[in-house]
Amino acid sequence: MSQIARKLIDENGVRTDGRKVDELRPIKITVGVLSNADGSAYIEQGKNKILAAVYGPHEVHPKHLALPDRALIRCRYHMAPFSVEERKHPAPSRREIELSKVIRWALEPAVFLEYYPRASIDVFTEVLQADGGTRCASITTASLALADAGIPMRDLVVSCAAGKVDGQLMLDLTDIEDKEGEADMPLALMPNFNAITLLQMDGQLTSDEFEKLLSLALDGCKQLNTLQKEALKSKYVAVKEEVEE
Ligand code: ADP
């Protein structure tokens, strides 16, 4: 059977990985996983495995890039050559350059950039294993790495996609659902302000479907935000226990 003819959701509304339409993939988040970075976090979202690290604030090089009234955020999204089935060229592709920019746009509104004029805050996200939705998981993880680096923020940024596959609206698409589905809509949110910092859409939807997908993705973001906060808190519980030993 060709992949195109494959059914991605059965008559009981169960997807190929056993999830229901409104379910996120299993998620595991850890904050503070690298000792040499100023801040770091790691996420496993289904088969996605992504590491985020923050370096800064520090002096900008080359100096002419420095902004007189605020910090510069520089993001690099990169997929490791072994992150997908066929070896990916290690050099940054056009897609990775675009996603680096998209991740920066999603994160910038949350950071008090004006606290660090002429400085740079560098955010690296390294996709170790990819299975769809890596830009969203990178944003979710990078915002935790920023918080871990002690960068003052208005809110965390959390991100999740929803899409349309086999005519059904569903949350958190895997690679195959994304590739074979009709639409994909990544969303990033500052949950305490209910402010959307990124909204993209690939494919076609009616306005009613768009409204429903938006609400599905917002709900996914809120669930993920609870996990983000738990992961941040557990780092400090571990530090407290270490100090008290
Ligand atoms: P996102 O990961 O944010 O959904 P895309 O929609 O561009 O971004 O990509 C969807 C998925 O396609 C990725 O998560 C990854 O699993 C897969 N993919 C992306 N680039 C490559 C590549 N060069 N080779 C193989 N698979 C890739």
Q: What is the pLDDT of residue 245?
A: 79
Question: What confidence tens digit (pLDDT) does each residue in 167-218 have?
Answer: 999 999 999 999 999 999 999 999 999 999 999 999 999 999 999 999 999 9
User: Atom 5 (ligand 1): residue with closest C-alpha?
Assistant: 132
Q: Of 160, 215, 151, whose CA–CA distance to 186 is shortest?
A: 160
Q: Which residues pair with 125 in a beta bridge?
A: 52, 77
DSSP one-letter code for 117: T
131 alpha carbon to ligand 1 midpoint, in Å?
A: 7
**Any ligand 1 atom below 6 A from CB of 175:** yes
Q: Which atom belonging to ligand 1 lies closest to the Cα atom of 95?
A: 7
What residue's CA is closest to ligand 1, atom 11?
132
Q: Extract the tokens encoding 165.
A: 């596959």
Ligand 1 contacts CB of residue 47 (under 6 A): no
Q: Is the pLDDT reported for residue 6 higher than 80? A: no
Q: How confident is the model at residue 137 (pLDDT cuts 50, 70, 90)?
A: very high
* Residue 134 Cα: closest atom of ligand 1: 2
- Say if ligand 1 is within 6 A of residue 130 CB: yes
Q: Whose CA is nearest to atom 27 of ligand 1?
A: 84
User: Considering only CA atoms, which of 151, 145, 140 is closest in space to residue 197?
Assistant: 140
CA–centroid distance, 173 to ligand 1, in Å, is: 11
Atom number, ligand 1, closest to the C-alpha of residue 202: 6
State the average pLDDT over residues 65-76: 96
Q: How far is the CA of 145 from the centre of ligand 1 (A)?
A: 22
46 lines ligand 1 (CB under 6 A): no
- Looking at residues 111-131, what average pLDDT do you find? 98
Using the atom order of ligand 1, give the atom closest to the CA of residue 133. 4
DSSP secondary structure, 1-68, as one string: --STT--SB-TTS-BTTS--TTPPPPEEEEE---SSSSEEEEEEETTEEEEEEEEEEEE-SSGGG--S
pLDDT digits (tens, 9 = 90+) for 21-54: 999 999 999 999 999 999 999 999 999 999 999 9
- 20 CB under 6 A from ligand 1? no
CB of residue 177 inside a 6 A radius of ligand 1: no
For 144-160, what is the HEC assignment?
HHHHHCCCCECCCCEEE
Ligand 1 and 88: CB distance under 6 A: yes
pTM of the model: 0.96
C-alpha 105 to ligand 1 mean position (Å): 19
Residue 167: exposure state from Cβ atoms within 10 A (0-12, 13-18, ≥19): exposed
31-40 pLDDT, tens digit each: 999 999 999 9
What is the pairing mode between strands 168-171 and 119-129?
unpaired
Task: For the chain, give the mean pLDDT.
Answer: 95
